[in-house]
Chains A and B, each alone.
Chain A
Amino acid sequence: KAGVTQTPRYLIKTRGQQVTLSCSPISGHRSVSWYQQTPGQGLQFLFEYFSETQRNKGNFPGRFSGRQFSNSRSEMNVSTLELGDSALYLCASSPGGSGASKRAQYFGPGTRLLVL
């Protein structure tokens, strides 16, 4: 099976712009989660989508939003970019559903965002 793919891999934006990142999960996986990784804060959970619905949400401002399509692909959007949004954004997919084995997560390579 192909792994989790994320596009683009690298992105440079300026303050105030908005950005959309894309994640394609492993085939058959229905859950997609997004994480932000920075040197200072480590890995922080943004949100999880399952069957096109946001199932869980971390403590990020409303500028961070996401959605999931019927084919389980997900997009994350950040509006009004700030310098502090510079980070590695990681997407992870899992089979989803109930049961412990359904929640194992598999990560994509990430999108490195630099905000100038």
Chain B
Amino acid sequence: KQEVTQIPAALSVPEGENLVLNCSFTDSAIYNLQWFRQDPGKGLTSLLLIQSSQREQTSGRLNASLDKSSGRSTLYIAASQPGDSATYLCAVIDNDMRFGAGTRLTVKP
């Protein structure tokens, strides 16, 4: 059974810092890994999708990497801003979609 773990559970940084969020999974037989952002009480916004054949994807200040063999993905956020404050979820897609518990990020002005 696929298990997805995100570390840390919460992170607080000052504005302007670069930061890394971690996601690990137990079964490397995946189709995709997808990173989402969730604001309080809202749905999920897709940030980046990495297909199993890819090693990284970039969108603006975000960069996500995938290492299937070690069961790890990282989300790198450059030059963080207060508007980046949210919960970040990674999800592994095989026959269904399994989510980590998320990392709650707070970026302080």
Contacts and interface: CB of A to CB of B under 8 A. Distances in A.
Interface in A28-46: 33, 35, 42-43, 45
B63 interface: no
B99 interface: yes
A56 B36 CA distance: 22
A116 interface: no
B89 to A, nearest CB: 7
Interface string B12-44: 000000000000000000011010100001111
Given A100-B53, A101-B51, A45 B44 contact: no
Give the secondary structure class of A's interface.
strand
Interface in B40-78: 41-46, 49, 51-53
Interface stretch (A14-22, A67-75, A79-87, A107-115): A107-115
Interface of B: 31-32, 34, 36, 41-46, 49, 51-53, 89, 91, 93, 95-102
Interface of A: 33, 35, 42-43, 45, 48, 56, 58, 88, 90, 92, 100-101, 103-110, 112
